[in-house]
Amino acid sequence: MKLKHYDHDGRARFVTFCTHRKLPILGNHLYRDKVVSRLYETCKDHRLKLLGYVVMPDHVHLVLVPPEEVELGPIVGELKRIMARDIHKLLKGSQSDLGGELLVRRDGKEKMAVWQRRCFDHNCRTEESVWEKVNYCHNNPVRRGLVRQAADWRWSSYGYYAASANVLLEIDVAATD
């Protein structure tokens, strides 16, 4: 069943995409840094407003506001392709055993899959829903036992909202006004 996507309404979207087989591919800080870097470039290139994010070892959550004329799905697909290419390069130069676990057979060819093929997205219909999703991003590393408090996880938008000196990406808070 094909799910209906609601583009062109100017609302925030909560997007989640997972690594292949939910493997902890992003368990290495170099890989998470690469994801954050590509996220910044993609938001800038496509005029996406970033309200919140977190990069976890096996998935990424984003709270985005795309321009009304833009369909978000193809942009997320492009972002995943670019990140996968970068991660493949990093894996080739590492001692990681993950490379073998990422091999899949698609269209008769053997390939490395970094991401699950689909992603999940949710339209945030109210400002409350937007902040619920942003807070969900910030608390995800705590819930998963990766850190004791949200401030300790560098790869999220928490630092921006807490006015920390350790901010990886600027956030577009004006997009919710």
Domains of the chain by range and CATH? 13-176 (3.30.70.1290)
Mean pLDDT of 108-134: 91
Residue-averaged pLDDT of the chain: 89
Give me the sign of the Cα torsion angle 11, 45, 69, 77: negative
Look up residue 9 and give its DSSP letter.
S
Rounded distance between C-alpha atoms, residue 154 and residue 159, angstroms:
7
SS3 160: helix
pLDDT of 110 higher than 90: no
In the numeric block, the tokens 């290419």 are attached to 85
